[in-house]
Chains A and B, each alone.
Chain A
Amino acid sequence: MRDRGLFWTPVPDWAEAELDRSGLRVSVTRELRQLLLVSGEVGAFISRRGVSGVLGPRDLALGPAYALRLAPDRVLCAFPSEHPVDLGWSEKGFAVADVTEGIIAFDVEGRDALALLQQGMSYDLTALDSRPAESCNIVLAGLRVAIVRRPEGWRLHVERPFATAVWTWLKSSIAHVTSSGA
């Protein structure tokens, strides 16, 4: 029986993983120390943690800490440092789960970042108008990623089991990128 381990690219060493070419750089985010999934009264949670508001996919995440809207009552909160948090239910009306270890985030930066992402994403990242109900969970190359705009490009939050697939896609697609996006 064929060893399917030979077919699939081995999981990269995430500490070393990086793609670099003129106008485009993809790397594993190192600045996130805590990722929390929060449901319910998310406003009550994020206000206590110094996050200004909930972002949609068209919004710009300026600071190191941010909250991404995944569903009307669910956010993914990202922090540059780890703080103690009570997991589970809070009397304030929200539930918290720690998903720091379950997500690998990639930064896609450079002038061709948009052209690269548009190869796998039907969502219109060029439009800048914010739409209140939009989820940051978007399908890229057939896989779900939570995306947010950063000053230098975009950040993709990928479930760890599919991180290798997204990485393989990024690596394959980078060859097709042209500056014009055409």
Chain B
Amino acid sequence: MHVTQGTFSFLPELTDRQIAAQIEYCLRQEWAVSVEFTDDIHPRNTYWEMWGLPMFDLRDAAGVMEEVRACREANPNVYVRVNAFDSTRGWETVRLSFLVQRPAEEPGFRLDRGEGKGRTIRYALHTYASDQPAGQRYKSNQANVAKGDGR
């Protein structure tokens, strides 16, 4: 199941060049860009592992792309995303966040239906991958990164 989280998630995978162009846009808006990864793709899991600190004062996407590549290399078969944080007063939040790597196989989600007091129904989302302990969730080694004019 193709996970659709973050911006551009309904598009085909972005190539590295397209990712760089998006980062370039973020830097032009003076947003701080950071790279994060996780193997727990539950939609309510907002806090992913940080790959280094957010990068401030950058002028060019080349520096971020380097980190994206390093993160993919170190975590070959998990989800990796790029966040852009806007620190302007009034916003102070992530303005753009998109996936730049996903595992080759995405087992998807199950809906658990629980019956509570007075026969109220409570729904819970369960990621099949999280049945495995952390670190063993996505076994196959080939991550899904857009192939193309990779620059």
The answer to whether A and B belong to the same complex is: no
Q: Which residues of A contact B (CB under 8 A)?
A: none
Q: Which residues of B contact A (CB under 8 A)?
A: none
